[in-house]
Chains A and B, each alone.
Chain A
Amino acid sequence: MPDVDHVEKDLGYVRGLLEKSEPRSPPAIYVLWAVVVLVGFTLADLAPRATGLFWLIAAPVGFLVSTWLGARAARKEGQVDRAEGDRHFLHWGGLLGAELLIVPLAWSGAVTGTGVGQVALLLVALAYFLDGVHQERPNLWVGIAIAAGYLLTFVVARHVWLMVGVLISAALLASAVQNRARPKRASPSDAR
């Protein structure tokens, strides 16, 4: 009868390999959005009229650049998971779609002024939080930071969007550092 201990050891080794190989978004994507957020939220306080146009361009362009960065990182790392790529594309594409659907709310007057930003922020917070739950754990904390920023908009009057932008950018940069620091290799093999 085959050696069960050896079999269990091999299975443990394989489990370790799978854990270590778990894909993660490249830090460049977090840095990209940290910069976009900082610029976009600063504009909301300093040049509010330009904010809408900025996000109408920056959001879809940022989404496409992020998609390209993710695919490039996977090929560079030498590990391709098309299903994972599709999940990311649908998740963040869904957020982009939801954000664009805020436009009719604003045009119709159903939501005005700060309310438009607050609705957008809440959607983004939920998207990041759920991504953290199901795909990339660091995004859970980014979602919580964005939700904190959303609450801040109800209590702070001056330069609130700049503050929220700094908070979110900091959370994104922290995730970039965390993603970069995670070990890539499995622990030394004891496989036969």
Chain B
Amino acid sequence: MRDDELPALDRVFEHGVRLGIAVLLARYDEVSFSRFKELLQQTDGSLGAQLRKLEDTGYLSVRKEFRDRRPVTWYALSAKGRKALRVHLDALQTLIRTAGHG
């Protein structure tokens, strides 16, 4: 398969942490900022930047609440984000399969 025949990968998900965030949100209904930080082992600033990028692209929805008087931010994958992730993962599968066949 030629390079121009390969399905296009989504640039937003080419960053591993952003891909990780999206896959976790495809698996779970909602994940909090602190849980992302624990799982992805990123600093607040770095994680915040990646989440903002996904939010700005319209792939995430954000909800804030208070628990024990502390603010908690919850993230969920939007319908747009879910579709984009599916397309990206399909493209990755095609890429790996193609590379395997040389």
Contacts and interface: CB of A to CB of B under 8 A. Distances in A.
Asked if chains A and B come from one complex, the reply is yes
Interface of B: 3, 6, 9, 15-17, 19-20, 23-24, 27-36, 38-42, 67, 72, 74, 92, 95-96, 99
Contacts, number: 86
A135 to B, nearest CB: 15
B41 A186 contact: yes
Given A18-B27, A78-B31, A7 B16 contact: no
Grouping DSSP codes into helix (H, G, I), strand (E, B) and loop, the B interface class, with mixed when no group exceeds half, is: helix
A39 B28 CA distance: 37
Nearest to B15: A192
A8 B27 CA distance: 20
Grouping DSSP codes into helix (H, G, I), strand (E, B) and loop, the A interface class, with mixed when no group exceeds half, is: helix
A5 B11 CA distance: 17
Interface string A1-34: 1101001111101100110110000000000000
Nearest to B89: A11
12 contacts: A1-B6, A10-B16, A18-B24, A21-B27, A78-B33, A78-B35, A81-B28, A81-B29, A184-B38, A185-B41, A189-B16, A189-B17
Contact of A186 (B9, B33, B39, B95): B39
